[in-house]
Structure 1
């Protein structure tokens, strides 16, 4: 290369001009666009500081001399909004992330043009400046760029965090001559000590791959690449199969098949880039912490809401405290009233346990003189009808209402038969006979009429669960049944909302004992006939199991204060595309119409499933919700 100083680029062009006259083929240095049709131009070389180029225009006068013309520059002001400092509140932890120091340069900001240089079909030189605090306001950073007036549209912004900790960038506004331009960030940026590479943010305008401006293509490629083990601060959004279920390196018996692909179809998980196991390369090694893109981790407001002050971390500790005051973790509830006491009288916890600093929203705390009382929040339907959950028609209604709707099938063949191997699992014929069905439907119609009129439906877990029954029963204090349930469709069929969340007798998550009619003893049968309620409670989860599940289900069912719902706010890139934004507005309008239909039907007293004594309003599909367990709202992400 001829480059040694800023003016050497002109010397190079002068020499190339004289040399090009000796050849018929045009020189790429003089007519780069013409040469570009014949040769693939190499990317700009990295000269490692050996050459600096001054922004300028050039032209060739009539005598063949190169005339240099300085490019005019304009001042472009940029304002970056960062995570504002949160005031320390009682019972909360001050958010240290994102807070900026009082002095010094915080960010190196670089603007990338979306246009190529018309003289050399390469990207234009970026412009940069250091962003600093705006006075005493730690929410804004200011920078001023000396931008060539022919810089073109800013297609990307690259940032280097010069601080010692990560910061959260919300957005950046550039005051360009054509009007202010906003870049939406909403992302964490790791400090340079962790990630020395420049963090790239693209404009709000979306591009299809073929229409992506040339200067941005390589940046896009760099953003999406990654074949190493990802670190916390990286932003690799990719999918992988569930190949980390087992741990064959620890024990060959812990090897598990890969979930995903043709042999075992399954949804994908977030890619982590971890190393393969030594014994089984198809399995990925496991670690304590799983990689999650930094921006997908819980925000502080969501974390605080989810945990009370630290719920996920505190949940194991809280459960240990519960186990400590439960004299016997396997102890069953003695009667149904003791279950109701969880909601009515609560649990007495001594003040010195420290549990109140850990509890989530599920509890209501009541201060007493000597002790604190924890009350589980009562389900709506439990307040209206304590034992409606035990009735067969309510069980059928709940099944239709969403717990198992896709598992229900129309009965098309009779008698019912298992498809499992009879040599292993015995007689395939079901013990449910047509006589039993006719007795249960109480003479409304004959069995043949019910089958012909498509009034019989079935929830069948028999073949699915039977292979696991013996394995589960080998566990202490556990049992399992492979059940079939028949449903008869009444003329007066209704569908009402499900309002038993947190009340475990309605849908217990485990069964601890076999039914007394299976391998019964004389004492068990006697107790069953005399006190069937006591026998039933022994099959239910223990006190420890029940409270653990009630904790967990409530935490997973609660909406975060910063939950994002379908149709609530458009993505920044959608607003800049008229076709996409119009489609979003139509979708939002349909959701609002749906909400109106739901409200209208809830007020219709003629609908038995919507109005009346003991009936909860249907609100499940109302698009937007407030925080907490509300029974409404359709968020982008659903846990359970």
Structure 2
């Protein structure tokens, strides 16, 4: 760079040394080390581009400065999403904001250059301008202005926004039109707080992605400062407008200040290991300093909450309404909380006749929110709640009764990720026999060989991989004594054994139920098998009801809540604390995290909280979430969340380089695995293409400081109770990164879809999947009057074991909503992110990914039409469509959204 001492005289004439320049510009000799200032150029030189001749490149200083004279007028258009909060017509602040709009000082924008000032080496001054409201459409408001941008400003890398209204605003995007290279659109999709709440400005980076080492010099400070802001200082109670991501333990599920019965243990820490959730900073309870006070709403960082327009159609609002309107009405209508169903026809009446409710306050709103659930509302009589008949029930009203359907659902039902291959015989408990009794299973070789009718010996069946088990024995047995002390529930440890038949279907062989030594009685265990005699048939049905309640609880608390919702929250927190919004991996992960923290906050508020829906209606009751902590401690591993690794771990597949996906399935017709592996491969290829595009250098992953801090914090803080486990993947290579990202994406999309969107279809008719078993097996104590009752009226004994009317209808209401796709659902591969679309290479790779998902739909349709695949087709059988990528709105039993948004 050219430098010299420049002095300014009184008459504003610049004085320079007389040493001549090695070139002459329009007769002006320049010193050899001169940087011409703009005032001097403007007064002394009348140079046009291309009119300068010289012997070397020193004259570039003059040419660049001349270019600085040129500027372009850029039209700025800001699109603001209409929201009930900001555009409410009935508030003092709204009137003040109207005045602000009228005088044209509502939104202050500052353009930030990607480049440093070549003279000073510091950031260039921002270019400021107020945008003015120019009108609005049905859902959007436009703010516009013109800003003069010198060509010397360089490339715009970010904008700063100051909201001078008294209310926050939801910015959709900013369009800068007038640059030589074409318009620049900056996607915001974020809330901007009022400066009266917080004076700091919001920064929005352009859609161009950068790994940290490639960040333009003019944006480095903003990139780092924004991450510092998002981390917060860990102090104080969070405000609704804040965007701070921090960690805390699960200490807000109980409500000890209201009642001792509502006190719950803290989850997270050495005693009860658990993933971390988002810190709210609420004060501690008066009666239990370890617990956090509950409040009417739960803080989530502002961008994680639904916008008002999203709230109007998105299912979380429906869930909230159900829990605060429909469920209390059910409790009022059904006065006896322990009242069961007197007849099976009474269960059918839920779909035919409905439940009479007390008058509902907001009928029209409920009609909108529950188009399926509320089938008829009378304006003159009591409001009527009538449930939609689930698809399996429509096809075959006795589907739930059949053993083959009971077995089929372990492969293609609501919880298809728990079945394991039997590799050791005899079955044996690993629990302490001094506490829990003899470890040997009561399922003997003789029982098994009798049930498989002599075609195989037990050793041959195991060797040929034909024996499978649903094993909740050791997990549940330690909870039996505690749970049996609670009213209206009971528990056993359970094992259910299945045999793989020659046609590729499973046949249940035996169910073992175990009660540990308690109340001075020795261990009790009994094996139940399919039977032709009336007593054995009904005992088998009762045993199945118990196993199904165990599987329902495990599904909801582990396969669904723990493995998807709960374990994903630390990934979201770490991503926002350590990956800049301009980081390519942040932009890859962002759509997979949308709204998860909001739905998790609602779960803590009303679903998994003390006396919430789960505790009120599922077998473990007040120990429900504690049970998921035990599973997290003893079973959860990040590396096993990958679908291929999970299948191998359960013995449901082995590595085979010659097989599709590199895996050979133990059960060839395994719908969840067959469709899931296609989806897994499509996701992995898309992630691989994306990572390769941004990490050309093999060493870039290990040297990416943001990425390394992100993975370190996930392991040591977000999942800190497991930080010392040896199975955590290392993050050094692109391959490591691809595997980690693919696993996270699979869990938030495919795995969640498989365990969530079939809930109403499979559990809406609750005898197929009762959430609770309320009575003991009658054979546990033959001297008990329950044995005589069972012998006289076995059907009523089964109905008595099933959930009560209030439990069943509450769960049915919630499951209907949780299984529903909103009209604006964002499906995997269907909607492209703005940053992906702006990069031609990434856009092309995404289109390939989207095309593969469309092909997947056709493949799944073909499989469901193949009559040879008996686990997904047959008379009255619902086709397996949970991993079909796209769906219409409603409860369709198909569709894979990007994220865990319900």
Normalised by the size of structure 2, how large is the TM-score? 0.59
**1:353 Cα offset (Å):** 6.0
Aligned partner (choices 424, 431, 435) of residue 413 of structure 1: 424
| Shift in alpha-carbon separation, 1:144–1:577, aligned structure 2, 3 A | same
Aligned partner (choices 834, 842, 847) of residue 572 of structure 1: 834
Look up the SS of the partner of 1:484 in the other structure: strand
Match of 2:81 in 1: 83
Look up the SS of the partner of 1:517 in the other structure: helix
Matched residues in 1 for 2:466 and 2:453: separation? Answer: 14
Match of 1:158 in 2: 160
| Shift in alpha-carbon separation, 1:610–1:391, aligned structure 2, 3 A | closer
| Shift in alpha-carbon separation, 1:434–1:135, aligned structure 2, 3 A | closer
Alignment check: 8 A CA contact 2:470 2:496 kept: yes
**1:424 Cα offset (Å):** 0.7
Alignment check: 8 A CA contact 2:175 2:185 kept: yes
Aligned partner (choices 793, 803, 807) of residue 531 of structure 1: 793
Q: 1:34-113 alignment to 2 at 5 Å? A: 71-84=69-82, 101=98, 103-105=102-104, 106-113=106-113
Instruction: Describe the superposition over 1:277-297 as per-residue Cα deviations: whole angstroms up to 9, x where unpaired.
Output: 99999x785553433122221
Aligned partner (choices 772, 776, 781) of residue 519 of structure 1: 781
Match of 1:27 in 2: none
Q: 1:404-443 alignment to 2 at 5 Å? A: 404-443=415-454
| Shift in alpha-carbon separation, 1:254–1:9, aligned structure 2, 3 A | farther
Match of 2:123 in 1: 123
Match of 1:223 in 2: 226
**1:224 Cα offset (Å):** 1.2
**1:391 Cα offset (Å):** 2.2
| Shift in alpha-carbon separation, 1:33–1:292, aligned structure 2, 3 A | farther
Match of 1:114 in 2: 114
Stretch deviating more after TM superposition (384-393 or 579-588): 579-588
Match of 2:145 in 1: 143
Asked if 1:192 corresponds to 2:190, the answer is no
Matched residues in 2 for 1:32 and 1:209: separation? Answer: 35
| Shift in alpha-carbon separation, 1:31–1:509, aligned structure 2, 3 A | farther
Aligned partner (choices 159, 174, 177) of residue 176 of structure 2: 174
Instruction: Describe the superposition over 1:578-633 as per-residue Cα deviations: whole angstroms up to 9, x where unpaired.
Output: 44333322222221211121123334455444544312233211111222221111
Greater Rg, structure 1 or structure 2?
1
Matched residues in 1 for 2:108 and 2:460: separation? Answer: 78
Match of 1:37 in 2: none
Aligned partner (choices 441, 461, 465) of residue 454 of structure 1: 465
Alignment check: 8 A CA contact 1:417 1:428 kept: yes
**1:303 Cα offset (Å):** 2.6
Look up the SS of the partner of 1:159 in the other structure: strand
Matched residues in 2 for 1:232 and 1:33: separation? Answer: 55
Match of 2:824 in 1: 562
| Shift in alpha-carbon separation, 1:607–1:182, aligned structure 2, 3 A | same
Matched residues in 2 for 1:446 and 1:94: separation? Answer: 78
Stretch deviating more after TM superposition (360-369 or 304-313): 304-313
Look up the SS of the partner of 1:80 in the other structure: strand
**Which of the two has greater helix per residue?**
2
Asked if 1:335 corresponds to 2:346, the answer is no
Look up the SS of the partner of 1:378 in the other structure: coil
Stretch deviating more after TM superposition (600-609 or 447-456): 600-609
Matched residues in 2 for 1:345 and 1:247: separation? Answer: 37
Matched residues in 1 for 2:810 and 2:246: separation? Answer: 32
Matched residues in 1 for 2:392 and 2:312: separation? Answer: 29
**1:423 Cα offset (Å):** 0.8
| Shift in alpha-carbon separation, 1:241–1:488, aligned structure 2, 3 A | farther
Matched residues in 1 for 2:281 and 2:219: separation? Answer: 25
| Shift in alpha-carbon separation, 1:618–1:158, aligned structure 2, 3 A | same
| Shift in alpha-carbon separation, 1:515–1:247, aligned structure 2, 3 A | closer
Alignment check: 8 A CA contact 1:306 1:555 kept: no
Q: 1:459-608 alignment to 2 at 5 Å? A: 459-494=470-505, 499-521=761-783, 523-608=785-870
Asked if 1:206 corresponds to 2:205, the answer is no
**1:235 Cα offset (Å):** 2.4
| Shift in alpha-carbon separation, 1:18–1:515, aligned structure 2, 3 A | farther
Asked if 1:291 corresponds to 2:290, the answer is no
Alignment check: 8 A CA contact 2:373 2:385 kept: yes
Instruction: Describe the superposition over 1:307-342 as per-residue Cα deviations: whole angstroms up to 9, x where unpaired.
Output: 697650452332221111113121000111111110
Alignment check: 8 A CA contact 2:883 2:895 kept: yes
Look up the SS of the partner of 1:412 in the other structure: coil
**1:60 Cα offset (Å):** 13
Instruction: Describe the superposition over 1:352-411 as per-residue Cα deviations: whole angstroms up to 9, x where unpaired.
Output: 665664464241332445344321111111112122212222111111225444432222
Alignment check: 8 A CA contact 1:162 1:192 kept: yes
**1:163 Cα offset (Å):** 1.3
| Shift in alpha-carbon separation, 1:584–1:318, aligned structure 2, 3 A | same
Match of 2:278 in 1: 270
Instruction: Describe the superposition over 1:133-162 as per-residue Cα deviations: whole angstroms up to 9, x where unpaired.
Output: 115666211011122221111111111111
Alignment check: 8 A CA contact 1:169 1:187 kept: yes
Match of 1:240 in 2: 247
Look up the SS of the partner of 1:476 in the other structure: coil
Alignment check: 8 A CA contact 1:348 1:373 kept: yes
Look up the SS of the partner of 1:170 in the other structure: strand
Stretch deviating more after TM superposition (560-569 or 435-444): 435-444
The answer for unaligned runs of 5 or more in structure 1 is 1-7, 20-29, 35-53, 87-92
The answer for unaligned runs of 5 or more in structure 2 is 1-5, 18-30, 46-60, 506-669, 673-757
Alignment check: 8 A CA contact 1:272 1:291 kept: yes
**1:11 Cα offset (Å):** 8.9
Asked if 1:258 corresponds to 2:268, the answer is yes
Q: 1:302-381 alignment to 2 at 5 Å? A: 302-306=310-314, 311-313=319-321, 315-349=323-357, 351=359, 357-358=365-366, 360-361=369-370, 362-368=372-378, 370-381=381-392
| Shift in alpha-carbon separation, 1:524–1:285, aligned structure 2, 3 A | closer
Aligned partner (choices 410, 413, 421) of residue 399 of structure 1: 410
| Shift in alpha-carbon separation, 1:94–1:341, aligned structure 2, 3 A | farther
Matched residues in 2 for 1:32 and 1:596: separation? Answer: 71
Matched residues in 2 for 1:10 and 1:307: separation? Answer: 69
Stretch deviating more after TM superposition (407-416 or 477-486): 407-416
Matched residues in 2 for 1:266 and 1:581: separation? Answer: 38
- Bigger RCO (CA 8 Å, 6+ sep): 2
Matched residues in 2 for 1:284 and 1:31: separation? Answer: 73
Alignment check: 8 A CA contact 2:108 2:164 kept: yes
Match of 2:579 in 1: none
Matched residues in 2 for 1:534 and 1:249: separation? Answer: 38
Matched residues in 1 for 2:206 and 2:90: separation? Answer: 29
| Shift in alpha-carbon separation, 1:506–1:248, aligned structure 2, 3 A | closer
Look up the SS of the partner of 2:848 in the other structure: helix
**1:420 Cα offset (Å):** 0.7
| Shift in alpha-carbon separation, 1:475–1:272, aligned structure 2, 3 A | same
Stretch deviating more after TM superposition (329-338 or 593-602): 593-602
Alignment check: 8 A CA contact 1:117 1:124 kept: yes
Asked if 1:637 corresponds to 2:645, the answer is no
Instruction: Describe the superposition over 1:10-38 as per-residue Cα deviations: whole angstroms up to 9, x where unpaired.
Output: 799x9x9999xxxxxxxxxx99999xxxx
Matched residues in 2 for 1:371 and 1:243: separation? Answer: 41
Stretch deviating more after TM superposition (293-302 or 114-123): 293-302
Matched residues in 2 for 1:150 and 1:356: separation? Answer: 59
**1:209 Cα offset (Å):** 0.6
Look up the SS of the partner of 2:886 in the other structure: coil
| Shift in alpha-carbon separation, 1:10–1:188, aligned structure 2, 3 A | farther
| Shift in alpha-carbon separation, 1:191–1:215, aligned structure 2, 3 A | same
Match of 1:385 in 2: 396
Normalised by the size of structure 1, how large is the TM-score? 0.81
Aligned length: 591
Matched residues in 2 for 1:215 and 1:247: separation? Answer: 48
